[in-house]
């Protein structure tokens, strides 16, 4: 078995409509995570902007434009702190300017943009508390699973509502994923009942580490998010979890343990469908 360990950080934010304020908060938390030994830092969905759709369109950037404010900040942070950063999602300009993609970005510790993933499953729901959300009205969906090499691990990318679709994670594991990231802004109502159960299920069935970054608290337009950023190991055990505050948790992921789990219970090799 290959002995390879990596300290990772799952970040918890309370992002608002002010991009500059959000980016300052991100600078602080990434610096803190790096000081705590993290080499990979995962930021939640809506990390740079959490507000009205018209504002989301106005701050959208073209993926790969490292002169644009959001991506320039992430690239500089990764380089300064010498950490890989996975940041998702943020509004990425696409062919329809009125419907930006919801995109997860992957930066190497050099500041290079490695790849991006566009959220496939969009959150169109009417919740029992009267909250109605229609992400597809203002967001173009992506179509492709994405796995990236990050700090010597194969990392499968997803965003928030994707978590409810196990077939996406099967596709990521089939592409070699050992670690699954879930940057999210789960609502308080759904999070309190489903967040932990779904994340542990994805870890167990995929026999992979799961790093779930989260939004927490109150946001514009009456949104309240659940928080509880966490890391789950391939056996389904939560090994680190945030309390109700802005901040981060760190955990060590270990390829030797991952390979041990996959060898001891080789369910991934037993798939028939």
Regions of the chain with pLDDT less than 70: 1-3
Kindly report the backbone phi and psi dihedral angles of residue 52, in degrees, each rounded to the nearest multiple of 5, phi listed first: -65, 150
Q: Do the beta carbons of residue 23 and residue 70 sit within 8 Å?
A: yes
Give the pLDDT of residue 45.
Answer: 98
Give the pLDDT of residue 221.
Answer: 87
Give the pLDDT of residue 238.
Answer: 98
CA 140 to chain centroid: 18
Active-site choice (92, 104, 119, 241):
119
Active-site choice (104, 160, 241, 242):
160
DSSP 221: G
By C-alpha distance, which of 177, 34, 182, 184 is closest to 109? Answer: 34
Give the pLDDT of residue 130.
Answer: 72
Give the pLDDT of residue 2.
Answer: 53
Q: Which domains does the chain have, with CATH numbers?
A: 5-270 (3.60.110.10)
Give the pLDDT of residue 194.
Answer: 98
Q: Do the beta carbons of residue 206 and residue 177 sit within 8 Å?
A: yes
Give the pLDDT of residue 1.
Answer: 47
Q: How many residues are present in the chain?
A: 273
- Tell me if residue 135 is catalytic: no
- Tell me if residue 160 is catalytic: yes
Q: What angle do helix axes 166-174 and 188-206 make, rounded to 10 degrees?
A: 30
Active-site choice (45, 92, 135, 241):
45
CA angle 114, 118, 120 (to 5 degrees): 145
Rounded CA-CA distance 95/85 in Å is 26
Give the pLDDT of residue 3.
Answer: 58
**What is the number of other CB atoms lying within 10 angstroms of the CB of residue 225?**
26
For the entire predicted model, the pTM comes to 0.96
Rounded CA-CA distance 209/251 in Å is 11
- Tell me if residue 242 is catalytic: no
Give the pLDDT of residue 131.
Answer: 72
Mind listing the pLDDT tens digit for each residue in 45-95?
999 999 988 889 999 999 999 999 999 999 999 999 999 999 999 999 999
């Amino acid at each position: 078995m290959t002995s390879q360990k990596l300290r990772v950080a799952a970040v918890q934010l309370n992002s608002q409509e002010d991009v500059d304020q959000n980016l300052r908060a991100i600078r602080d938390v990434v610096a803190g995570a790096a000081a705590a030994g993290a080499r990979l830092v995962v930021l939640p969905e809506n990390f740079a902007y959490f507000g009205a759709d018209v504002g989301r369109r106005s701050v959208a950037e073209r993926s790969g434009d490292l002169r644009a404010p959001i991506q320039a900040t992430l690239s500089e942070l990764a380089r300064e702190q010498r950490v890989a950063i996975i940041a998702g999602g943020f509004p990425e300009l696409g062919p329809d300017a009125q419907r930006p993609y919801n995109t997860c970005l992957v930066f190497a510790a050099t500041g290079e943009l490695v790849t991006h993933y566009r959220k496939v499953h969009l959150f169109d729901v009417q919740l029992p508390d009267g909250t109605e959300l229609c992400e597809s009205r203002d967001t173009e969906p992506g179509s492709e699973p994405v796995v990236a090499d990050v700090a010597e691990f194969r990392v499968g990318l997803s965003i928030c509502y994707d978590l409810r679709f196990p077939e996406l994670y099967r596709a990521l594991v089939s592409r070699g994923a050992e670690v699954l990231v879930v940057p999210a802004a789960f609502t308080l109502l759904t999070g309190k009942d489903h967040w932990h159960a779904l994340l542990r299920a994805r870890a167990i069935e995929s026999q992979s580490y799961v790093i779930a970054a989260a939004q927490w608290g109150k946001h514009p337009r009456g949104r309240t998010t659940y928080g509880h950023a966490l890391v789950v190991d391939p056996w389904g055990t939560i090994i680190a979890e945030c309390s109700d505050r802005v901040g981060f948790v760190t955990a060590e992921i270990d390829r030797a343990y991952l390979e041990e789990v996959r060898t001891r219970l080789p369910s991934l090799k037993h798939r028939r469908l």
